[in-house]
Amino acid sequence: MAEHEVEEAGSAEPPGGARERGFIAAKTGMKIGANYARYLSRRAIGTDKSTARAALHSSNAEDLFTELSKLRGTALKMAQGLSMEPGFLPDQFATVLAKAQYEVPAMGPALVRRLVTQAFGHPPEEIFATFDATAMAAASLGQVHRAILKDGRDVVVKVQYPNVRESVDSDLRIVRGLAGRFLDSGSIDPYLQEVRDRMMEETDYLQEGQNITAFAERFAGSNIIIPEWIPEMTTERVITMTHVSGVHLKEFLAQDPTQERKDHFGQMLWDTVHGQVAADHLTVHADAHPGNFLFLDDGRMGILDFGCVKHFPRDFRDDLIALYRARMSGDRDAQLRAYRDLEMLPDDLPEEGREYLLEILDILGGIIESLYRGDEYDFGSGELLQEFQSVMPRLTGREAYKHRRPVGSHHFVFVNRLLAGLISMMTQLGARVNTRYARQQLESVEVK
């Protein structure tokens, strides 16, 4: 992106007030409504149904991304998560919203210089040997810049967008209002609180620095590369860390890598996630999207952005392991106990709701279980995505609408995000992985 393009696209501060952000959300709804009216008119004059629907999805997706890019923050972060949910959105939406991973219009150099100066009390040219005011990448909460410290270290500086932290609550109120049209609004509060807690952590870059240190210790001596945090060059809203050289998934695939190389990195992703879930520290890097992983020429893998880290209560993690083991062994009684322990099957559900929910849980559980049944799983077959797509009508159709109460522990918010992100990346890689190590990890956990 050229410097003048950066200035034009992102020099204005994202709106921080609830009224301004609500206005943009309402404006987005109006645009989507207008697109739907055009879709109906095209249908009326005989345009092919599938062509008209594809055009509708494309227009809505572009309008949604454009407006969310103005808001940034929580709104764009949630769109980023939706882009990774397998089969949940039409392809046009998933493709466009995936740009929230690292293609958000960046802030201009003048605004960046002001924010860095506010953070450190001195302009960037005084505290760095060099500082590139044009962003190398921009995402939902902040953007990163190349720099060199005065001691010669090659670093990146992540600068948080203005008003992001202040807008979390107002954005979640908008989400609550929209979700209330489809769900029992009171019952979604624990899930929104979970999102709020993680967002407040993710917008505290001092906390992220501590997370980087903890993960660097866990992966020391492995083929996983973690950047080094520079505490003296970090504040709550600007963080400096050593630069990790590598390519993101999109660039990696553009190199037309061999199947062997795709399998190599897919195996690393697969084993790294399972190792975190099974470990005693009960903490996972929960922001599993392509913008946070780098593939290095020497076969190592870099992990970036440790703002979104989830620490699980031991009981919850152990209940997850218990459900996995019950599914693998076919123990129906143990499955039902795990469903109840994980708040997936409330005791006060009416019989109709219980039957519907059990069927959905069994279908989804069977899909996930299929990943572990053999010693190898081929994510390039396309079968997994087809299976998720086949069940989506049951999750979003009229039958689902009758059951307006969300179920499952609020801790599932980030389990689902981690799982969706992992499956999305593995599918894009088309990797074939050996599943024996992951099974051993899950089976070795001592459930308390």
pLDDT tens per residue across span 147-168: 999 999 999 999 999 888 888 8
Q: Which of 58-72, 153-167, 204-218, 310-324 has the lowest mean pLDDT?
A: 58-72
Of 58, 73, 101, which residue constitutes the final position of a domain?
101
Structure tokens at 163: 């008003």
**Does position 53 have pLDDT exceeding 60, yes or no?**
yes
51, 71, 101: which is the final residue of a domain?
101
- Residue of 201 and 349 predicted with greater confidence: 201
- Give the C-alpha separation, 342 to 346, whole Å: 9
pLDDT score recorded for residue 9: 42
Q: Averaged over 332-343, what is the pLDDT?
A: 96
Count Cβ atoms within 10 A of the Cβ of residue 235 and give its class: 0-12 exposed, 13-18 middle, 19 or more buried. middle
- Number of separate domains in the chain: 2
- Per the prediction, the chain carries an average pLDDT of 83
pLDDT band with cut points at 50, 70 and 90 for residue 331: very high
Q: Give residue-wise pLDDT tens across range 164-194.
A: 888 888 778 777 766 665 667 678 889 889 9
The boundaries of the domain holding residue 293 are 246-448
Give a yes or no: residue 129 inside a domain: no
Give the whole-angstrom CA distance, residue 45 versus residue 63. 24
210: left (phi over 0), alpha (psi -120 to 50) or beta: alpha
Sign of the Cα torsion 339, 341, 344, 347 reads: positive
Per-residue pLDDT, 2 = 34
Q: Which positions ≥6 away from 390 have C-beta within 8 Å?
A: none
* Residue 138 in this model has a pLDDT that exceeds 70: yes
- Domain annotation covers residue 360: yes
Residue 103 DSSP class: B
221 domain-assigned: no
Is the pLDDT assigned to residue 284 strictly greater than 80? yes
Give, in degrees to the nearest 5, the angle at Cα 347 between 341 and 348: 145
Cα–Cα distance for residue pair 341/374, rounded to 1 Å: 28
* For range 135-150, the mean pLDDT: 91
Q: How far apart are CA 13 and CA 111, in angstroms?
A: 8
Torsion angle defined by CA atoms of residues 105, 107, 109 and 110, in that order, rounded to the nearest 10 degrees: 140
Q: Return the structure tokens found at 387.
A: 């299976």
Please state the rounded mean pLDDT for residues 49-78: 63
Half-sphere exposure of 436 (CA within 13 A, CB side): 2
Radius of gyration of the chain (CA): 22
AA identity, residue 237:
R
Residue the block writes with tokens 């629907």:
53
Residue 154 and residue 227 in contact, taking contact as beta carbons nearer than 8 Å: no
**pLDDT greater than 80 at residue 403:** no
Q: What integer pLDDT is reported at residue 92 of this predicted model?
A: 56
Give domain status of residue 91, yes or no.
yes
So what's the pLDDT on residue 149? 98
Does 7 or 229 have the greater pLDDT score?
A: 229
- Residue 309 phi, psi (nearest 5): -120, 130
Task: Report the percent of the chain where pLDDT is more than 70.
Answer: 73
- Full DSSP string of 387-433: HHHHHHHHHHSHHHHT-----S-TTHHHHHHHHHHHHHHHHHHT-EE
Under the banding of pLDDT at 50, 70 and 90, the label for residue 18 is: low
Q: In the numeric block, which tokens belong to residue 91?
A: 């392809």
- The answer to whether residue 366 sits within a structural domain is yes
Which phi and psi angles does 346 have, rounded to 5°? -60, 145
Q: Average the pLDDT over 109-113 and give the result.
A: 95
Task: Give the C-alpha separation, 368 to 120, whole Å.
Answer: 47
pLDDT of residue 10: 46
Residue 353 located in a structural domain: yes
For 201, other C-beta atoms within 10 Å of its C-beta total 16
d(CA 158, CA 55): 36
What's CA 128's distance to the chain center, in Å?
32
Given a cut of 70, whether residue 430 has pLDDT beyond it is: yes
Q: What is the rounded average pLDDT of the residues 396-403? A: 62
Is residue 25 pLDDT above 90, yes or no? Answer: no
Confirm if 203 and 53 have CB atoms less than 8 A apart: no
Residue 67: both structure tokens together? 């407006």
Last residue of a domain, one of 80, 101, 122: 101
DSSP string, 131-197: E--S-SEE-SSEEEEEEE-TTS-EEEEEEEPTTTGGGHHHHHHHHHHHHTTTS-GGGGHHHHHHHHH
Q: Going by C-beta distance under 8 Å and a sequence separation of 6 or more, which residues neighbour residue 323? A: 335, 338, 339, 342, 365
Express each pLDDT in 212-239 by its tens digit.
Answer: 999 999 999 999 999 999 999 999 999 9
pLDDT of 399:
64
pLDDT in tens, 194-208: 989 999 999 999 999
Span 30-48, average pLDDT: 54
Q: How confident is the model at residue 7 (pLDDT cuts 50, 70, 90)?
A: very low
Residue type, 398: R
CA distances (Å), origin 369, targets 249, 366, 439: 26, 5, 11
For 247-273, what is the mean pLDDT? Answer: 97
Residues in the chain: 448
pLDDT of residue 188: 84
Share of the chain above pLDDT 90, in %: 55
> Does 273 fall in a domain?
yes
Say if 252 falls within a structural domain. yes
Please report which confidence band the pLDDT of residue 74 belongs to, taking 50, 70 and 90 as the band edges: low
Contacts 24+ apart (CB under 8 A), 382-385: 382/427, 384/86, 384/423, 384/427, 385/86, 385/87, 385/427
* Residue-level pLDDT at 419: 92
